[in-house]
Amino acid sequence: MKVFIAGICGTFMAGIAQLAKASGHEVTGCDSNVYPPMSTLLESEQIEIYEGYDPKHLKHAEINRHCDQVVIGNALSRGNPMVEAVLDHNYSYQSGPQWLHDNLLRNRKVIAVAGTHGKTTTSAMLSWIMHVCGKNPGYLIGGKSGNFSKSAELGRSEWFVIEADEYDTAFFDKRSKFVHYNPGIVVLSNLEFDHADIFDDLNQIKTQFQHLIRIIPSVGSVIANADDHNIADVLDLGCWSKIVPFSIHNRNCLWFADQLTQDFSSFEIYHQNQSGRKPSGRVEWSCIGQHNMQNALAAIAAACSAGIEVSHACEALSTFKATERRLQLLFNKKNVLLYDDFAHHPTAIALTIDAIKSKYPKHKIIAVVELRSNTMKKGCHGDVLGQSFNNADTTFIYQPGALDWQPQTLNTRTSLRICENKEDLISNIARELDLRITKNSVIICMSNGGFDGIPKALREHLQAKFVQPEQFNCHALKLTPEINLP
């Protein structure tokens, strides 16, 4: 079968492309934003990508409406020329989640990882645990894993781990993606308001999560964060499956994690059913931050539900490598460090800064944030956004376009600066660092997009400064527009 994927460079749709290719289908696709890492990953799989949504791409792909399938991503809506051509010519089309269900997930044992934050990391952790422990799972992760060469694999067993997004499915199916996945085990890591472009309030998101709960079989399990009151609200609406609670605050919870080091790079796991008050295992790894300890706890509890011993799961995480752009270290020399992170929600931003603070308590922290998501652009988190910067010494907000609100009005303890273009941002950060004098500094770039190539430009600047200090000029930096981080 020839499969054409419209919106192929999104992390989810790129995963479907890899799975379809591995299943023996001929796969091509198109997207308006063709850039690494997904574009290079797809090219390595010899999947041809067309730039833009011109309907002629369908002809290039030799679409035949009687035998081939167009899979349409949720980034496309009515009015898009590709969508209009598919409808006008009566091509057979499906959403990505529906294609995934019909062609792959229907006969698999699916573990779905859902929540506002940490889905990608927890999915990657769980996939790695199951891989190391011999379960040979298939997986679809919404990012480039540090342990796997691909973001999606068919696997060699009945198990399949999937990052379960609450975003809507397609322009013709406004249900959340995760209701299509047929899960037997679900991880609910946390729940907050997000995606203001499709949800009016938190209650609408809770309703979608309740829909997910309603399709889990009675013999299935819900791995639920007992510290999150919004998840408790969803479960109170009805749950017909086994609830497996986990906590990083309540020692009496079924699953509990206890930090051993300040930066959370070492912690113990307690499983009350097996060990009572004694730890069931210990994790020592390269990751940092309380949020990563919580993600690991959820992944271990889910792995145990799939038949893996706690100690074996903990041991597997000792070799876990962070997913790309999840506190990814880009530069480290002379106590000046540069990190890149996907944080784009106030809670995630605060957790990322806190993780860096726990790792480098004596360093000056410089946060660089892009207000890119629809929720941020609408100003829906203005009341708490400023507070999320409090543990940073200086925060730069990169905002090249107009907003409906003024970031300058944020209530925060940090030194807040707004930059409207890339050159000003880079030069201001350079002056802030004052590398001839200042040492012990950490720069954290946070965005859920390409960030206009700023992390790479900052890395190049830092490398040039330390390699050839005499050539330093903060007003004449080499700026590289594309992003292609290692």
* pLDDT attached to residue 93: 95
Q: Which helix (H) or strand (E) holds 396?
A: strand 394-398
What is the pairing mode between strands 159-163 and 109-114?
parallel
Residue 132 pLDDT level (bands cut at 50, 70, 90) = very high
Half-sphere exposure for 471 (CA within 13 Å, toward CB): 11
Q: What is the DSSP letter of 170?
A: E
What is the pairing mode between strands 26-31 and 48-51?
parallel
Query: What percent of the chain clears pLDDT 90, i.e. is strictly above it?
Result: 61
Residue 161 pLDDT level (bands cut at 50, 70, 90) = very high
Query: What domains appear along the chain, each with residue ranges and CATH number?
Result: 2-95 (3.40.50.720), 104-317 (3.40.1190.10), 328-471 (3.90.190.20)
In this model, does residue 468 exceed pLDDT 80?
A: no
Distance CA 38, CA 29 (A): 12
Place of tokens 């709960």: 213
**Angstrom distances, CA of residue 386 to CA of 413, 414, 415:** 8, 8, 11
* pLDDT attached to residue 159: 98
Of residues 128 and 38, the one with the higher pLDDT is 128
In this model, does residue 485 exceed pLDDT 70?
A: no
* pLDDT attached to residue 136: 96
Distance CA 327, CA 353 (A): 10
Lowest mean pLDDT segment, chosen from 91-105, 208-222, 241-255, 460-474: 460-474
Distance CA 107, CA 151 (A): 21
Q: State the average pLDDT for the chain.
A: 88
Residue 467 pLDDT level (bands cut at 50, 70, 90) = low
Please give the sequence-ordered ranges of beta strands (E in DSSP) within 197-285, or none if there are none.
Answer: 221-225, 242-247, 255-259, 266-271, 281-284
Torsion, Cα 132 220 290 335, to 10 degrees, reads 30
Helical ranges in 104-180 per DSSP H: 119-132
* pLDDT attached to residue 376: 72
Structure tokens at 347: 């809670």
In this model, does residue 383 exceed pLDDT 60?
A: yes
3-state secondary structure of 168: strand
Three-class secondary structure assignment of 422-467: HHHHHHHHHHHHCCCCCCCEEEEEECCCCHHHHHHHHHHHHHHHHH
- β-sheet bridge partners, residue 332: 337
Distance CA 161, CA 12 (A): 13
Residue 469 pLDDT level (bands cut at 50, 70, 90) = very low
What is the pairing mode between strands 336-341 and 328-333?
antiparallel
Q: What is the DSSP string of 301-319?
A: HHHHHTT--HHHHHHHHTT
pLDDT, tens digit (0-9, with 9 covering 90-100), for 333-361: 888 899 998 887 888 889 899 999 999 99
pLDDT, tens digit (0-9, with 9 covering 90-100), for 190-229: 998 877 778 888 999 999 999 999 999 999 999 999 999 9
Q: What is the DSSP string of 70-108?
A: EEE-TT--TT-HHHHHHHHTT--EEEHHHHHHHHTGGGS
In this model, does residue 123 exceed pLDDT 80?
A: yes
Residue 416: CB atoms within 10 Å: 19
Residue 225 and residue 298 in contact, taking contact as beta carbons nearer than 8 Å:
yes
| Biggest alpha carbon–alpha carbon distance for the chain | 69
Mean pLDDT of 271-292: 85
